[in-house]
Chains A and B, each alone.
Chain A
Amino acid sequence: MAVDQKDRRKERIDRGIKVRSDGVYAISSWLEISYLVAPRLLFIVGLLAAPILLLPVPYWQKVLSIICIYSLLAISFDFLANYVGLVSLGGGFYIGVGAYVAALLNMKFNIPIFVTIPVATVVGAAICTVVFLPCLPLRGVYFAIVSLMFPLLAARVIEALDIFGGTDGIVGVDGFSSTWIEQYLLIIAVLAAVFFLRRMITEDVGLVFSGVKDNDQAVKASGINITKYKALGIFVASSLGCFGGAVLSHIYMWAGLSQFALDFSIIPIAATVIGGGGTLIGPVIGCLILVPVSELLRDFGTLRIAVYAIVLTLFIVYKSEGIMVYASRKYEQFERWVSI
């Protein structure tokens, strides 16, 4: 929306290398290549270098792992909400399922850690998909409410039936042999998730996904089974969450009820709103900002939840596009005032 101030308005022009649509560029010099590559390289190299830079402060290395787990969840939320059209508030459910599957495999069958994580990712995602299957016809608010109920329900059921260790959880899960493996596993997972999903949404599957989001009747009319695609979307998204959960249970060497907690549902959403929905990188940036802030506020107890609830409200009401969308607009466009 152009700001009309008496007799001038702001004009926005794309930089010259952009051709017609997003993702197509005409490049003619190294400068222009670097212009395109620099921000992406900054993101990748920055993330990869983070554990080394944080070497003097081991506490913040741990925080980095948590950031990555939240990032995975936030990416999956962003993907589901903005590309498949399912707003899933049940991030805690994915984490919990992944954590419990990994912990059970490890404790009951003594399966080593590098088998439990991939198995928990796939099996956990399959469990999540099957559980969500009956709710897939629901839309918008109603799907959101049901998905919010699942982590609560799972925690209550485990508590009431006293299965899987009940309120104590499963204690004594194997830990990682070194923090390097733990951190690089997570960082590579985040990078892979971002770039894999970015590629996926431009493929044919991605087109169907956005069709399901924008007009599911039209997709149905072209003879495509929308439930199948929604299930596929849930599977992809929940496998990210389950992977995070499995790694989390190995980091804490414990799987318990708090892994179904509301934190895992709220922070990723807040991160997506703040970072910018629909960009896939935005959620990671949001997590990079939010999680350290909430760590700093840890001394204040529940005040930190109140703080990021307020930040979330302010962003969603006054700046709903988010940081990433705002920044890339500033980066890709010239702005100037023209007189009318």
Chain B
Amino acid sequence: MEILIYGIINSVTLVLMALGFTLVYGVSRLPNFAHGALYVVAGYLTWIFMNRLGLNYGISILAALIVTCLIGAAMYQFVLIRVRGMPISEIIASYAIGLAILEGLRWGGLKGSTFTLPPFIEGSVEILGVSVDFQRILVVFIGAFMMIGLWVFVSRTRLGLALKGMAQDERAALTLGIDSDKMAVVAMALGSGLAGVAAVTLFPLGNIVVEAGYNVLIMAVAVCIVGGLGSWTGAVLAAFLIGFAQILTVVYLGAHFQVVVALIAIIITLVLRPSGLFGRQKELEERV
């Protein structure tokens, strides 16, 4: 029972971490390796707004999310747009930006356990004999809400449909008057916002530390690759696969192996089924 409940929670956590990454990659084919840095930045900004500026928790979360969106958009508009279409340069540039942000924050004093966010609701509850705190339950609800919200957004709104069009066929979208660079900026902003949402939901469970940035990046990449880059159903499914595999290894092998699972999942997937669980044929050509 414990395995089932914590497996679900862990899986939804992974979904939250990976949503932003897969959105950006799906729309603009840009592997945003600064994803982890944006995640940490959102958590840190919330902390600053709350403790330095004395804002209310809800308002500081909102402000932090908006600022993170702007950072993401600016990153694309001023830097990444110049290396569009050169996959390796995209990776190196975005990774370097992320590295600069994370290590800059670490240098600026983001370490130790002083930086914590309070949970939204205190306390815990027993579900089927397993005690779970409210924050973790909220994680599941927020995760589910984001998944459904994102699905409604891309299939019901004009902007969402434009993004979807870009993701499916950039050239065709261009002929229909969808500005690909504008859409990429929007996607970047949204993706950063999603990283921010993940951050404010997950950071109350622990400290705000720089290492979280690297972990989130590895997890997001793992989920997206196993699921097929850019495929949202695949990402969700992969998150559940890796999430449960991790909980199982923690229970039966020990906590050391948690990250090893994700890394091995990446390698096995790429070697055995390079397009991922739900990758399409076109992607296979790109990969092999």
B159 at the interface (CB under 8 A from A): no
Nearest CB of chain A from residue B85's CB, rounded to whole Å = 12
- Bound: A316/B101 CA distance, A: 17
Q: How many residues on chain A are close to B (CB under 8 Å)?
A: 38
Given A157-B260, A269-B92, A273-B92, does the pair A317, B79 have CB atoms closer than 8 Å?
yes
Q: How many residues on chain B are close to A (CB under 8 Å)?
A: 37
- Bound: A81/B267 CA distance, A: 20
Closest A residue to B283 by CB, please name it. A142
Q: Mark A128-157, 1 if CB is under 8 A from B, else 0.
A: 000000110111111011100100110011
8 Å CB contact of A146 from B31, B259, B260, B266: B266
Q: Mark B72-98, 1 if CB is under 8 A from A, else 0.
A: 000000010011000111011100110
A311-328: which have CB < 8 Å to B? 312-313, 316-318, 320
Indicate if the CB atoms of B288 and A317 lie closer than 8 Å: no
Given A139-B286, A156-B260, does the pair A317, B103 have CB atoms closer than 8 Å?
no
Indicate if the CB atoms of B103 and A140 lie closer than 8 Å: no
Given A81-B88, A140-B88, A146-B266, does the pair A312, B288 have CB atoms closer than 8 Å?
no
- Bound: A172/B79 CA distance, A: 47
Indicate if the CB atoms of A309 and B274 lie closer than 8 Å: no
Indicate if the CB atoms of A316 and B218 lie closer than 8 Å: no
**A-B pairs under 8 A by CB, number:** 107
Indicate if the CB atoms of B264 and A313 lie closer than 8 Å: no
B117-171: which have CB < 8 Å to A? none
Given A134-B271, A309-B97, does the pair A302, B103 have CB atoms closer than 8 Å?
yes
B58 at the interface (CB under 8 A from A): no
- Bound: A53/B13 CA distance, A: 56
Nearest CB of chain B from residue A161's CB, rounded to whole Å = 8
Given contacts A300-B107, A313-B79, 13 further A-B contacts (CB under 8 A): A138-B274, A138-B287, A141-B88, A145-B221, A149-B218, A152-B218, A152-B263, A156-B256, A160-B254, A302-B103, A302-B107, A303-B103, A309-B100
Report 12 cross-chain contacts, Cβ distance below 8 Å, ordered by A residue: A138-B288, A141-B91, A142-B274, A144-B88, A145-B221, A145-B266, A152-B263, A153-B267, A300-B107, A301-B107, A302-B103, A310-B100
